Amino acid sequence: MKKDFGPMPAVFPMPVLMIATYDEDGTVDVMNAAWGQICDSDMITLALTETHKTVKNLKKAGAFTVSLADAGHIEAADFFGIASGNKMADKFERSGLTAVRSTRVNAPVIEEFPVTLECELVECGKYGVIGKIVNVMADEAVLDEKGKIDVTKAGIIMFDQFRNGYYTVGEKVGTAWNTGKGLLK
């Protein structure tokens, strides 16, 4: 028997995304956003409201970066979700992390996070932001022997909305577009 919970954001895993922008004076702003996902092969959607300083910044700049948070930097990642850039001018500085300017878009790249998407703003509306991914970059330490990103090496974390927990990616249990082939026969 199943128990009813009513409407709730019941999707797992949720990514722990670090959205980074510059404000009008060049100050780095980063926020934690779990409600985001790939919506096309080179597009990302983020469910962000216009009350966030980050949204105001990306609308002005026309660009942002999205980093995948990792277990090694979970304290800063969580902090970026509980502190508001609208109320804390030195929010990024308090994290102790390092930002460098992207060479592709007008947004910062946070050096410590292992995987970063560089994005141009496509649309910002009532239900959030859509960005075009112009590049994905990854720290060489998280690449496998074939030069591909290995999520287990990256220590990428995910958010559990049911119990407010963070978890790392676990073991591989199947191969996409292959594990179900036996049912085609």
Give the CATH number of the domain where residue 145 resides. 2.30.110.10
Give residue 185's pLDDT.
87
pLDDT in tens, 47-85: 999 899 999 999 999 999 999 999 999 999 999 999 999
In this predicted structure, the answer to whether residue 173 has a pLDDT above a threshold of 90 is no
Give residue 25's pLDDT.
93
- Structural domains in the chain (count): 1
Q: How far apart are the first and last CA of the chain?
A: 33
The conformation of residue 90, written as its DSSP 8-state character, comes to T
Residue 140: inside a domain, yes or no? Answer: yes
The pTM of this model reads: 0.93
Query: Considering the chain, what percentage of its residues have pLDDT values greater than 70?
Result: 100
Residue 2: inside a domain, yes or no? Answer: no
Left if phi > 0, otherwise alpha if psi is -120 to 50, otherwise beta: which for 101? beta
pLDDT in tens, 87-101: 998 999 999 999 999
Give residue 9's pLDDT.
85
- Please say whether the beta carbons of 63 and 148 come within 8 A: no
- Please say whether the beta carbons of 15 and 9 come within 8 A: no
Angle at 110 between CA 128 and CA 97, to 5 degrees: 120
Residue 44: closest CA among 136, 143, 165 = 136
Torsion of the alpha carbons at 153, 74, 137 and 144, rounded to the nearest 10: 0
Residue 89: inside a domain, yes or no? Answer: yes
Q: Check the CA dihedral 56-59-63-65 and report its sign.
A: positive
Q: What average pLDDT score do residues 156-175 get?
A: 90
Residue 66: inside a domain, yes or no? Answer: yes
- Structural domain range at position 132: 14-184
Give residue 115's pLDDT.
98
- Please say whether the beta carbons of 104 and 61 come within 8 A: no
Residue 1: inside a domain, yes or no? Answer: no
Please state the φ and ψ torsions of residue 66, each to the nearest 5 degrees. Answer: -125, 115
Give residue 91's pLDDT.
95
Residue 21: inside a domain, yes or no? Answer: yes
Give residue 166's pLDDT.
95
pLDDT in tens, 21-49: 999 999 999 999 989 999 999 999 999 99
